[in-house]
Amino acid sequence: MKTYSVKEIRDITGLTWKQLYEYKKGIPGIGPMNDAGYKQYSKDDLEKLVQAALMAKLGAKPKRINDVFSDEKYDRKKVLIELQNEAQKRLVEAQDIITVTEALGAVSDQYSYFSSFAMRDLHILAENLRYSMHDKDVQLLEEYIDKEGENKIFAEVGKLKDIEEDDIGNKKTNTLVRNLKKYGEKEIGVNGNRFLMILYGDLKAIDDVRKEVENTFGIGKADIIADAIGMYQGVEFFSESIEDMIQLHEYIGEDYEDEDVREYIYRIKNSVMKNFGLKTTFEFLNAIDAIRYFWATDENLSDDERKDGGDAINYIVGAIRYYEG
């Protein structure tokens, strides 16, 4: 029967001396000494060590590998599948990190949301950045801005400069926001609701935009204008999704894996995505943030309704991060 020397085993498996020593201790019966005092490995030993080397490449620690071979209850095939899934998750995370860090290099320090958002919802943010590279609305908006349209957009946003916090949600303010939405549709050619959400995100998160708005229109105006947009969008969401939100409230606190919970969460998400013209989960979370403001400030709602709405939104956000983060 053919046997293998330590050198041959290392050449075939790529294992180090240290790894061979670790597995020699943990894997029963491998690498016995021959009569001359040298370790010799059988074909069966080689197969075990090839599997061990593969597990190590997939990220398994020596103890885990040794446990697999020393305990007959372990299903090696199942362990390999588990390790493959873990490695796939690390690969996705690595790709996400590359995407986000490339974006950070491109935008410098303009985006204040990166520091709080990137690591918490890394995959969601990376998916949004990848989608944006090929998105029609984003491309149309960038082309419009490149043709000196940025000042025109700023002028349109400036039509809300005179509103105060108490004006948010009233008829006049909602008309101004609606006109801003129509401007995005007619002048730029983008989805109007999505245009509003992009503006909302910029006013809340991009430092250069916030500074320019506040230097031109006054301290606090970036948040006031963004909240006016959020209130307008929140009213639309409320009218479309109130029944689903009420139904969802019965499930708050239940396990996210519950099929009924998942059904209602995605029914609400799909409603928001459709009504607001959104394309990514990142944009959805921005929209939910705007809706949260509406729910917290609408004077037509009772204290209990505001609390229930806030609880429901927190539950939705938690569920989406669990499913997709």
Could you say which of 107, 142, 172 is where a domain stops? 107
pLDDT tens string, the chain, 325 residues long: the values are 688 888 888 889 888 888 888 887 778 777 665 655 567 888 888 888 888 888 888 888 888 888 888 877 777 788 888 888 888 877 777 777 766 676 655 554 444 444 445 455 666 667 766 666 667 777 777 787 777 778 888 888 899 999 998 898 889 999 999 999 999 899 888 888 888 888 888 888 778 888 899 999 999 999 999 989 888 877 776 666 667 766 777 778 888 888 888 888 888 888 878 777 777 887 788 777 767 766 777 677 788 877 877 888 888 888 888 888 6
Q: Does 98 share its domain with 142?
A: no
Q: Give the pLDDT score at 296.
A: 74
Whether residues 297 and 208 fall in one domain = yes
Asked, for residue 273, whether it belongs to a domain, the answer is yes
Q: Judge whether 245 lies within some domain.
A: yes
Residues 97 and 236 in one domain: no
Domain containing 289: what range?
130-324
Nearest partner of 286 among 201, 227, 203, judged by Cα: 201
Domain membership of residue 13 (yes or no) is: yes
| Both tokens assigned to 278 | 């959104």
Among 136, 270, 137, which Cα is nearest to 199's? 137
Residue 169 in tokens: 């949600």
Do residues 169 and 275 share a domain?
yes
The verdict on 142 and 100 lying in the same domain is: no
Distance linking the first and last C-alpha atoms of the chain? 52
Both structure tokens of 113: 């949301």
**In sequence order, what DSSP letters do the residues of 185-222 get, joined into one string?**
IIII-S-HHHHHHHHHHHHHHBHHHHHHHHHHH-TTHH
Quote the CA–CA distance of 9 and 38 in Å, as a whole number: 13
For residue 118, is it within any domain?
Answer: no
Same domain, 79 and 144: no
pLDDT of res. 69: 83
222 lies in the same domain as 89:
no
Asked whether residue 113 is domain-assigned, the answer is no
DSSP code for 166 = G
- C-alpha 105/C-alpha 87 separation (Å) is 27
Q: Are 215 and 257 contained in the same domain?
A: yes
Say yes or no: 82 and 211 in one domain. no
Domain boundary among 73, 107, 141: 107
Rounded distance between C-alpha atoms, residue 229 and residue 54, angstroms:
54
Same structural domain for residues 179 and 51? Answer: no
- The encoded tokens of residue 243 equal 């029944």
- 58, exposed or middle or buried, with CB in 10 Å at 0-12, 13-18, 19+? middle
Residue indicated by tokens 């239940």: 254
The number of distinct structural domains making up the chain is: 2
Do 311 and 252 form a contact (C-beta atoms < 8 A)?
Answer: yes
**Residues 149 and 274 occupy one common structural domain:** yes
Task: Please identify, among 92, 107, 122, the residue that sits at the C-terminal boundary of a domain.
Answer: 107
Tell me, yes or no, whether 196 and 65 share the same domain.
no
What span, in angstroms and rounded, lies between the C-alpha atoms of 171 and 233? 14
Q: State how far the alpha carbon of 126 is from the alpha carbons of 2, 283, 318, in Å.
A: 51, 12, 18
- Radius of gyration in angstroms for the set of CA atoms belonging to the chain, rounded to a whole number: 28
153 in any annotated domain:
yes
d(CA 144, CA 154): 12
Q: Is the Cβ–Cβ distance between 292 and 313 less than 8 Å?
A: yes
CATH of the domain at 12: 1.10.1660.10
Place of tokens 């997709």: 324
Residue 61 lies in a domain: yes
In a domain, 121, yes or no: no
Question: Across the strands, what pairs with 39?
Answer: 33
